[in-house]
């Protein structure tokens, strides 16, 4: 598809999503029913035909919500592996593998593997955490009932709910789920639907046949897909199915809503841009510098990779993940389940909380908050214990009027307590707990639940069953039973058995029960409960001071005013009345009825208006008995009260600068009342100002005029806002500091969130219903209720409040702010190590010193020693003012700031780097390598891999026991095998050091038959690596540079005597010797023998070289080794190596391309004989060539330095030549104690390069090995300093 097609699709998608944001546009509720049925093509008495159903199924599809297009799991997993930070780590890994392919360094290989491992593991973790889209749609599917009863072709049948179509006539009853959007055709008087999931209304809503409102969500003749039927029954016609239902639009809106990038994700992205920019800048900068100073390109590339990788915070991803996980675990202990780890910090960045009311700010439990009953002179309003009244209880239980009010509320009531909830149960939840006598243990009526914030919420442990309002009444009555058993609900109902009932219905708006009183006359009493205006109008008397008195107009007005005041505060009022009947007329066997053959009204008093002459269609008239007035007992005002912990939590939000907005589907009056109670509103609203101005006739300019434009509080009904409003209108509304949105639709909630985000807020949204899911998903962090929340809202959310407590959100805000502060500390701590990690590379490149820190140790720091202290920052306690600060400004208060970079890099980083270099140099100096000999001697293929030569001023050569040889002057004499160590003593020091010049080798390969112990398999090929020659060793010695093995190294803990006689079969890291070593690595170290120029060129030195310099940066050699004034004499024990140049030879700094390798075979070139130890008369001899390999029986041992071949202890007593010293005049056949040069026995006895006949090839590697071990210990000291820093370092920003 071309770009224009893509643009068109995007435009259509945006348009479709904007349409979904608009309020539901449904007209079927206003359409004339006959016209609607005709349009749908259905006869309500017969239903649809089978052919119609088949046609409609083909036309509109099944009654299912269309799932969104899903990316394959492998694509989503791949996306997790290719996030921005992951790409940075991938780049680092690839660079490591490139480095390994160039120099075969295992450090690079291991680092690359670990980086890949880190990316894959964190990718798997993120993939598991973020796989939520499928479950979101599945939760919508759970709202569909499996089967539904339909009328088709004149008969009823049960069909799959997925197979119903528009026009189907369906039947629903109590307990059913509504299978599609319905228009009510017929229903019972008590038919109700629970719209809480759709609109957020806390109480079931009445439904009837007639249209009652233009708004489809407000009218009573529609039922919506996914809502529940608590009671009653109905017959309806399907007007919409699947995606076309109101719930389908919400599902589409929720699925099309894109999740906002979390603040912490933005911050990490910002940090990566900074750190990768620094890494690339430094890498390229020093690559260019290296080119300028002449570093070979391959070596330059390897170290550019090292610098870039050193800057990559390999452990950051794991550190952030672990820190967020630890915080999530702490939040779980506070009853907050975190689904999206990044949401932990998002909550801390929140500047605006859009909170649902029901179940979040309130308890979602209807409770009696106020009671009105007769006092001594008039009716009065008193508090009932609830969080709405701050737990106050001001009613007088001894008051007879109040006692009768309680009695009426318990008797005129069908709610009950679940019997099973009245007992204690074992852990299995089935078996009742028994006391010592074997009797079941009753459960307390009340108890306390511990909330996530640590507070305790008093709750009713007995579970009520029934209408929410009636449940609230029996809970109030039962709560007094602990002090007075007369108020036990079961006891009351047994004492007052019911005789007759008129159920509540929407027409009468009252409920009547007749009970038999527990007196000798078995007198009956009428109990009535209902809408206050209906109850008051039926009462002619009232109960005051325990006495029945006539209702006066003044008292009637007083009662009505109190009722209006309660309603104005969002409480739902119910009135109560009773009348004790004359036992002479209403005897125990009296037959109560709502109508009789003669009368169309009840045959007992209910206070109806007198209409004696009005007849119904059957000629019946009113029964005069029913007009007898009742006695008014009082009112009960109910509300879903706020949670006790919410007001202080909201106050804490204000202190923290977090704006709390109520967004509810409930009525404005109720929403406003709760908002005042919890502290979301605390001043006069704009609407109240306008009403008061109108009520009291105030005009602008009047002294007492209240200007609505000055109001800081506003209550916004949902019908006044829409997606089409301008930004200026939204800015006006959201500019208020106190805001309540009421009667909002799901679409409006989403738009409210979007406009808050447009203003720059980090928005948290709480909700429990399906209607909240689009806003929850759109929010920066969505929060669902764990107890009362729907599965849809839980799946759309980033975190779940397991206790449905708003106060837990505030605790989460504190934890989120804390984790941001702690992550800032962790990152500051982590990036401090970048300078100490980079500067070793820079020093290596600029000054060519031995590398102070390897990439492996960098990895050990980043993923080892640094990670644990960095993670430990997550345990830091909050600062005292953490909830007194305003929310952070995401544009200025970044996770990584210039100040932090300056502090971490420019100050702490350099201090740590200098301290690291200090420890590094101290350790090298302690092992015999002072700082003066380090610069320009640190080539990676020299230090620790080749012999090190130094010019000494005095000092002593000592043997393995530390005994000095007084006959050797280190200023002029070379060390011997018996006295290989240089000890500075009191007057000695090192003047200068260097390597032998590396002027041998070529790009070719030695061939398939190459065996490193067999000189005959060598040719001039060294795979591009350079090697020193025997002549370069001898040239150094001739100029006073001798092989350096520091006595300080001998006295170190790493010393091994075998360094003086190493078995070349054993793999050795620094020298790359040993069986199975790759050729690429073998030629980077010291070979198992000697290359010679003169032996390859018939005793001539200077005629076979290329016009290419042999000088290597970081491999400085003594300048005097290149003869400029006079030829050099290349001799071993006084015998010329370059014998065809008797006057001496002139060595250059050119690269020689003709050399031969000698390591002890008799059939090597003639000039190798002297190098190997053969003398002129073919008699076994012993040379002083300390650089050549030697051979030992069975195992490598110390090679004694014998100047005279006749001193070699041979034994001929048996006539057979054997080796070994004389022991008690006999020959010792054990030869493994002494070792000899190869010509002692020749090739036949030795058995060739493979060590046959029990002989081993050995080599003195002490000079290179001590340098290698000293460097490793110095690098370890550099690393150790980081470890100490990790153990003790505390960052304070």
The C-alpha atoms of residue 323 and residue 317 are separated, in whole angstroms, by: 10
Query: For residue 401, what pLDDT is reported?
Result: 94
With a threshold of 0.75, does the pTM exceed it? no
Q: Are 943 and 850 in contact (CB under 8 A)?
A: yes
Q: Are 937 and 1116 in contact (CB under 8 A)?
A: yes
The C-alpha atoms of residue 858 and residue 970 are separated, in whole angstroms, by: 40
State pLDDT tens for residues 917-947. 999 999 999 999 999 999 999 887 889 889 9
Residues tagged active-site: 356
Q: What is the mean pLDDT of each run of 10 residues along the chain (1293 residues)?
A: 41 49 72 90 90 90 76 78 73 76 69 79 69 49 72 89 91 88 89 78 80 86 88 91 84 70 78 78 80 70 68 71 79 81 81 87 88 93 88 90 94 91 80 84 84 72 88 92 85 93 82 90 92 93 92 93 89 94 91 87 90 72 90 94 87 91 88 91 92 89 89 91 88 93 86 91 85 84 81 80 82 85 84 83 85 79 77 82 83 81 84 91 94 89 90 93 92 89 93 90 80 81 84 90 94 88 78 71 83 85 77 82 75 79 82 83 71 53 67 65 44 40 40 46 40 67 92 89 52 43
Chain position carrying tokens 């460097």: 1271
- Characterize the bridge pairing of strands 379-383 and 367-374: antiparallel
Cα distances (Å, whole numbers) of residue 93 to 74, 298, 599, 681, 1005: 22, 18, 94, 56, 29
Query: For residue 1207, what pLDDT is reported?
Result: 44
How big is the chain by its Cα radius of gyration, in Å? 48
Q: Are 350 and 763 in contact (CB under 8 A)?
A: yes
Q: Are 195 and 225 in contact (CB under 8 A)?
A: no
The C-alpha atoms of residue 1044 and residue 991 are separated, in whole angstroms, by: 12
Query: Three-state DSSP class for 1166?
Result: helix
- Characterize the bridge pairing of strands 1226-1227 and 1156-1158: unpaired
* Burial (Cβ within 10 Å: 0-12, 13-18, ≥19) of residue 968: middle
Cα distances (Å, whole numbers) of residue 501 to 511, 525, 975: 8, 12, 120
Question: Would you say the C-alpha torsion 1265, 1268, 1274, 1277 has a positive or negative sign?
Answer: negative
Q: What is the 3-state secondary structure (H, E, C) of 325-377?
A: HHHHHHHHHCCEEECCCCHHHHHHHCCEEEECHHHHHECCCCEEEEEEEECCC
Q: Are 374 and 634 in contact (CB under 8 A)?
A: yes
Q: Are 108 and 855 in contact (CB under 8 A)?
A: yes
Query: For residue 1285, what pLDDT is reported?
Result: 52
Cα distances (Å, whole numbers) of residue 1093 to 1031, 1141, 1276: 7, 13, 39
Distance of CA 995 to the CA centre of its chain: 54
Angle, vertex CA 730, rays to CA 726 and CA 731, nearest 5: 110
Stated as kind and residue range, the H or E segment containing 806 is helix 806-832
Q: Are 675 and 737 in contact (CB under 8 A)?
A: no
């Amino acid at each position: 598809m071309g770009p224009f097609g893509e643009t068109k699709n995007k435009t259509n998608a945006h348009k479709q999503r904007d349409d979904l944001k608009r309020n539901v546009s449904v007209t079927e509720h206003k359409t004339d029913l006959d016209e609607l049925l005709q349009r749908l093509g259905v006869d309500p008495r017969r239903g649809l035909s089978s052919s119609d159903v088949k046609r409609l199924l083909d036309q509109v599809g099944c009654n299912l919500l269309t799932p969104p297009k899903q990316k394959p799991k492998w694509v989503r997993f791949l996306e997790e592996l290719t996030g921005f930070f992951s790409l940075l780590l991938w780049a680092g890994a690839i660079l490591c593998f490139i480095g390994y392919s160039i120099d075969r360094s295992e450090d690079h290989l291991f680092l690359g593997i670990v980086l890949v491992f880190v990316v894959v593991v964190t990718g798997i973790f993120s993939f598991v955490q973020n796989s939520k889209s499928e479950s979101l749609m599945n939760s919508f599917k759970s709202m569909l009932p499996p089967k539904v009863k339909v009328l088709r072709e004149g008969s009823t049948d049960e069909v799959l709910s997925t197979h119903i179509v528009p026009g189907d006539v369906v039947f629903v009853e109590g307990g059913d789920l509504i299978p599609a959007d319905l228009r009510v055709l017929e229903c019972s008087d008590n038919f109700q639907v629970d719209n809480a999931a759709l609109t957020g209304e806390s109480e079931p809503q009445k439904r009837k046949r007639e249209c009652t409102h233009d708004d489809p969500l407000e009218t009573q003749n529609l039922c919506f897909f996914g809502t529940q039927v608590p009671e009653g029954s109905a017959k309806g016609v399907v007007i919409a199915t699947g995606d076309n239902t109101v719930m389908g639009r919400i599902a589409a809106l929720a699925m099309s809503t894109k999740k906002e990038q979390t603040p912490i994700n933005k911050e990490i992205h910002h940090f990566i841009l900074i750190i990768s920019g620094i890494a690339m800048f430094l890498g390229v900068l020093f690559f260019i510098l290296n080119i300028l100073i002449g570093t070979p390109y391959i070596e330059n590339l390897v170290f550019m990779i090292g610098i870039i990788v050193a800057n990559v915070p390999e452990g950051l991803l794991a550190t952030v993940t672990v820190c967020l996980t630890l915080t999530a675990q702490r939040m779980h202990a506070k009853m907050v389940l975190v689904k999206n780890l990044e949401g932990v910090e998002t909550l801390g960045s929140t500047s605006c909380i859009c909170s649902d009311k029901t179940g979040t700010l309130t308890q979602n439990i209807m409770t009696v908050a106020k009671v009105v009953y007769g006092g001594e002179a008039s009716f009065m309003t008193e508090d009932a214990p609830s969080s709405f009244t701050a737990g106050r209880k001001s009613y007088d239980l001894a008051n007879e009027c109040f006692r009768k009010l309680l009695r009426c509320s318990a008797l005129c009531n069908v709610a009950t307590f679940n019997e099973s909830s009245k007992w204690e149960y074992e852990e299995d939840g089935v078996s009742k707990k028994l006391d010592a006598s074997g009797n079941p243990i009753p459960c307390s009526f009340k108890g306390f639940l511990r909330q996530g914030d640590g507070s305790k919420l008093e709750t009713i442990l007995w579970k009520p069953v029934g209408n929410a309002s009636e449940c609230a009444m029996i809970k109030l009555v039962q709560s007094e039973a602990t002090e007075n058993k007369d108020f036990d609900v079961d006891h009351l109902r047994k004492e007052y058995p019911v005789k007759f009932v008129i159920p509540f219905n929407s027409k009468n708006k009252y409920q009547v029960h007749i009970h038999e009183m527990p007196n000798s006359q078995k007198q009956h009493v009428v109990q009535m409960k209902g809408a206050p205006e209906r109850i008051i109008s039926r009462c002619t008397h009232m109960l005051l001071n325990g006495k029945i008195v006539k209702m006066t107009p003044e008292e009637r007005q007083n009662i009505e005013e109190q009722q209006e005041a309660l309603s104005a505060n969002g409480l739902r009022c119910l009135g109560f009345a009773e009348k004790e009947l004359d036992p002479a007329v209403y005897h125990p066997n009296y037959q109560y009825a709502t109508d009789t053959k003669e009368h169309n009204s009840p045959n007992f008093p209910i206070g109806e208006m007198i209409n004696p002459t009005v007849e119904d269609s059957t000629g019946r008239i009113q029964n005069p008995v029913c007009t007898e007035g009742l006695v008014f007992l009082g009112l009960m005002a109910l509300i879903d009260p706020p949670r006790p912990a919410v007001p202080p939590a909201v106050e804490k939000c204000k202190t923290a600068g977090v704006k709390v907005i109520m967004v509810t589907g409930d009525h404005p009056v109720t929403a406003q009342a709760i908002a005042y109670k919890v502290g979301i509103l605390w001043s006069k609203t704009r609407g109240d100002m306008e009403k008061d101005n109108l009520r009291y006739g105030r005009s602008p300019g009047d002294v007492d005029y209240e200007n609505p434009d000055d109001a800081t509080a506003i209550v916004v009904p949902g019908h006044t806002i829409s997606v089409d409003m301008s930004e200026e209108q939204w800015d006006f509304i959201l500019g208020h500091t106190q805001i309540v949105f009421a009667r909002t639709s799901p679409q409006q909630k989403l738009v409210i969130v979007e406009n808050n985000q447009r203003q720059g807020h980090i928005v948290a949204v709480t909700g429990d219903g399906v209607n909240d899911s689009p806003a929850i998903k759109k929010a920066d962090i969505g929060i669902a209720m764990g107890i009362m929340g729907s599965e849809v809202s839980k799946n759309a959310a980033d975190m779940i409040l397991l206790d449905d407590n708003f106060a837990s959100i505030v605790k989460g805000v504190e934890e989120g702010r804390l984790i941001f502060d702690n992550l800032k500390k962790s990152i500051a701590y982590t990036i401090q190590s970048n300078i100490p990690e980079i500067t070793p590379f820079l020093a290596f490149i600029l000054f060519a010193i031995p590398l102070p820190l390897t990439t492996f140790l960098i990895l050990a720091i980043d993923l080892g020693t640094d990670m644990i202290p960095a993670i430990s920052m997550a345990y830091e306690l909050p600062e005292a003012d953490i909830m007194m600060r305003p929310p952070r400004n995401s544009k200025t208060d970044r996770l990584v700031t210039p100040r932090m970079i300056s502090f971490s890099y420019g100050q702490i980083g350099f201090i740590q780097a200098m301290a690291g270099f200090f420890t590094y140099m101290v350790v090298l100096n302690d092992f015999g390598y002072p700082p003066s000999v380090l610069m320009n001697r640190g080539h990676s293929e020299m230090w620790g891999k080749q012999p090190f030569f130094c010019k000494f001023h005095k000092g002593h050569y000592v043997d393995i026991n530390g005994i000095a040889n007084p006959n050797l002057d280190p200023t002029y004499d070379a060390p011997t095998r018996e006295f290989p160590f240089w000890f500075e003593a009191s007057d000695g020091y090192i003047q200068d050091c260097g390597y032998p010049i590396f002027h041998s080798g070529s790009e070719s390969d030695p061939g398939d038959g190459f065996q490193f112990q067999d000189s005959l398999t060598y040719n001039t090929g060294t795979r591009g690596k350079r090697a020193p020659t025997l002549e370069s060793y001898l040239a150094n010695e001739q100029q006073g540079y001798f092989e350096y093995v520091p006595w300080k190294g001998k006295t170190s803990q790493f010393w091994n005597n075998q360094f003086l006689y190493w078995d070349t079969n054993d793999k050795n890291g620094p020298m790359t010797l040993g069986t199975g070593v790759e050729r690429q690595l073998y030629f980077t170290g010291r070979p198992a023998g000697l290359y010679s120029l003169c032996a390859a060129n018939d005793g001539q030195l200077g005629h076979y070289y290329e016009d290419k310099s042999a000088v290597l940066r970081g491999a400085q050699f003594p300048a005097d080794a290149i003869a400029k004034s006079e030829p050099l004499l290349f001799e071993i024990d006084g015998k010329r190596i370059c014998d065809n140049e008797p006057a001496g030879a002139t060595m250059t700094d050119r690269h020689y391309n003709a050399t031969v390798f000698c390591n002890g075979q008799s059939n090597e070139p003639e000039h190798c004989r002297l190098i190997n130890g053969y003398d002129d008369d073919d008699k076994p001899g012993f040379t002083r060539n300390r650089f050549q390999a030697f051979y030992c029986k069975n195992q490598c041992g110390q090679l004694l330095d014998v100047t005279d071949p006749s001193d070699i202890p041979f034994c001929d007593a048996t006539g057979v030549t054997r080796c070994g010293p004389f022991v008690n005049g006999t020959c010792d056949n054990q030869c493994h104690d002494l070792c000899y040069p190869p010509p002692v026995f020749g090739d036949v006895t030795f058995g060739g390069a493979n060590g046959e006949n029990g002989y081993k090839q050995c080599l003195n590697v002490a000079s290179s090995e001590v340098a290698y071990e000293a460097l490793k210990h110095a690098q370890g000291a550099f690393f150790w300093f980081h470890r100490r820093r990790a153990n003790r370092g505390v960052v304070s920003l």
